[in-house]
Structure 1
Amino acid sequence: MKSDRIKFPTGFWAGLQQIGIDPYQVARKAQLPLTIISEPVTVTTAQYFSIWQAYSELAGDTASGIIRLATAFETTHYPPAVLATYHARSYRDALNRMARYKQLCPPESLRINEEDEQCTIELEWMDSEQPGPPVLVGITLAFLLELGRRGTGQPITARTVEFSHTMGDRDALEAYFGCPVQIGAAVNRLTLYRKDLDLPFLSYNKELLEILTPVLERSLDEQRRRSTAEMVKWILKRSLSGGPLDIQAVASELSMSDRTLQRRLTDERTTFKQLLTQARHEQAREYLANPQLDIKEVAFLVGYEDQNSFYRAFRLWEGDTPAHWRSEYLRTHPSS
């Protein structure tokens, strides 16, 4: 099942600082809470895209923004799924791992095809009606080449690169990829020389892979087996601040009819209304535990347009006011 939740790597913000872009400016431009910079979070597809769009606008030329971030991002900031690709046995192994573990981090997916002397990697969106911003497309394909260069220690070049949208300075992109860049193509695709896939990775780490691989495979397995109620609550939690969500919208997100969703929730002995209440309650506690967010902002983030409605709901959940609950929490969790 698809779901609208994306783990946003905290290393991204460190990468921005390295290239002289203020992470807080990006978060503000994307209209997201500033706490996103310091805390590991999951975001909706719309929020994910807005972060990349904000970065693109602050970076200026799209091509320059792509190359600067792709080359500056330090391997120490890679999330586990990417770290497993960097420490793969060969470039082929790394790319196949990347395509597999991308499933843990929608909304993009990679389709790899080896034929004759070439290997094509096509970027696809899980929701074809909501394609990502050009800078994200460019970063994704550039990073696949950067991964090969860093892992092998060789100045690998692509055979061709195709983009469906304009990407800024094409000469700069052609210099980076080392090949012609086509704009206005039907697909977003990186084509490599197949022989390069056989190159061994100098960064190969058998011991680390033996630790990372089982963890990532379990995560994939858990993602596939997660209950419908859990999936619904994940979607609700990450969408609360975007306005009220009804069962039809969530069912559509899960690629099923609202009747099917209702039946599955009944089978799991819960209802959509109960899950919405749980999502709001759990998120309210999480946000209130952060003293940097004022209570009015917390009310908005959990989907209440007016503060009084949030106060009434919170009293029902906790038997306490949000302000008093927060002060007690911070008193008993001084290191939080």
Structure 2
Amino acid sequence: MLHTSNRIKMPLGFWEGLRRLGMATHDVVRKAQLPITIITEPVVTTAQYFAIWQAYSDLIDDTAKGIIKLATSFETDHYPPAVLAAYHARDYRDALKRMARYKQLCPPESLRITEEGEHCTIELEWLYTEQPGPPMLVGITLAFLLELGRRGTGQPLRAKFVEFSHSIGDVQTLEAYFGCRIQIGANCNRLTIHREDLDRPFVSYNAELLEILTPVLDQSLNEQQRSRSITEMVKWIMKRSLTGGRPDIQTIASELGMSDRTLQRRLTDEGTSFKHLLTQVRHEQAREYLADPSLDIKEVAFLIGYEDQNSFYRAFRLWEGDTPSNWRTEYLGANLIN
């Protein structure tokens, strides 16, 4: 279950789930423009993972129908261990906490749960990637969180409110499934449920099974966190917070739950420094943004944290020995030939 930032463990039973829906797995792979051997691969890259979900979405008549079909048809006996631990939890609150905790073993999705007043919100975020996940994947993730509550409690739970950042197909179909109003074009992807539902006990509660699963999953999570380099985590946070400014070590250290002195020491132990990583991230992001012809140079400078364009030009010359505009022209020309 261990992974690096760009290694995604495919959900157990995913391909079987597609077959049960009457979809040929080979068609999905071809649509995703991936090698057919991907079906037997337990681990894929983030780009491949997103391509598979997008292909499934493209082959379904309507995104909303595809979301509901997959969320409701997945048999509990095909749940991976992390989801089994949630399904057999004591109550809905315990189940959601386990989902959020063990989701770290299966990136790139991350769940942030907040209880406030009469509501509980579960917001979907992306780990290690700036690229937003396909709407189909977003929809299934949020739908399954409600499905988990329905199956666990044995009750027809209804959500309070659902927000999606992108178009998600037939909204009325989804509103009927979630049992609430849905907002499209929101600034986040979020499921809001009734807080009182969190106390509902699960009829599927299995204390003996949890005693077996929990220590194994916790050990996997601890091993993963120890193996993940601090350098990797700092770079990911930097990429999220570059736009329009320069992230400082105090802010990033706080997000990692440590002092800036401890963070600098950890980075030194890994043979790098905060300043070096910031330069490296800006360089990597500059190349990535310049490869997109829809962004002008001024926008690229802002996106990687330079308030004035001249500072960006000077930095880029040091990195590449050329101006941003010349580099872009050569890059786009070379890719056109290839």
TMscore range, shorter length:
0.5 to 0.7
Aligned to 2:19: 17
2:30 aligns to what SS in structure 1? helix
2:122 aligns to what SS in structure 1? strand
Q: By how many angstroms is 1:227 displaced?
A: 6.5
Aligned counterparts of 1:52 and 1:265: Cα–Cα separation in 2:
38
1:158 aligns to what SS in structure 2? coil
The answer to whether structure 1 residue 134 and structure 2 residue 135 are counterparts is yes
User: 1:186-201 maps to which residues of 2 (within 5 A)?
Assistant: 186-201=187-202
**Cα contact 1:91–1:201 (8 A) shared by 2:** yes
5+ residue gaps in structure 2?
240-265, 273-338
Aligned to 1:34: 36
1:190 aligns to what SS in structure 2? strand
Q: By how many angstroms is 1:222 displaced?
A: 0.5
The answer to whether structure 1 residue 100 and structure 2 residue 101 are counterparts is yes
Aligned counterparts of 2:217 and 2:171: Cα–Cα separation in 1:
37
Aligned to 2:9: 7
RMSD: 2.7
Q: By how many angstroms is 1:161 displaced?
A: 0.4
**Cα contact 1:6–1:48 (8 A) shared by 2:** yes
Aligned counterparts of 2:91 and 2:204: Cα–Cα separation in 1:
9
1:189 aligns to what SS in structure 2? strand
1:120 aligns to what SS in structure 2? strand
**Cα contact 2:12–2:79 (8 A) shared by 1:** no
Task: Tell me the amino acid that sits aligned with residue 158 of structure 1.
Answer: A
The answer to whether structure 1 residue 56 and structure 2 residue 57 are counterparts is yes
Q: By how many angstroms is 1:224 displaced?
A: 1.0
Q: By how many angstroms is 1:38 displaced?
A: 3.4
Aligned to 1:69: 70
Aligned to 1:217: 218
Q: 1:16 to 1:85 in 2, by over 3 A?
A: same
Q: How many residues align?
A: 244
Aligned counterparts of 1:201 and 1:227: Cα–Cα separation in 2:
34
Aligned to 2:126: 125
Aligned counterparts of 1:44 and 1:262: Cα–Cα separation in 2:
29
Aligned to 1:113: 114
Aligned counterparts of 1:144 and 1:115: Cα–Cα separation in 2:
18
**Cα contact 1:5–1:45 (8 A) shared by 2:** yes
Aligned counterparts of 2:175 and 2:236: Cα–Cα separation in 1:
38
Deviations 1:186-217 (A, max 9, x none): 11110000111111111111111111100100
User: 1:1-336 maps to which residues of 2 (within 5 A)?
Assistant: 3-39=5-41, 41-127=42-128, 129-226=130-227, 264=270
2:70 aligns to what SS in structure 1? helix
Q: By how many angstroms is 1:252 displaced?
A: 5.3
Aligned to 1:283: none
Aligned counterparts of 2:236 and 2:194: Cα–Cα separation in 1:
38
**Cα contact 2:6–2:128 (8 A) shared by 1:** no
**Cα contact 1:4–1:253 (8 A) shared by 2:** no
Q: 1:227 to 1:174 in 2, by over 3 A?
A: closer
**Cα contact 1:3–1:253 (8 A) shared by 2:** no
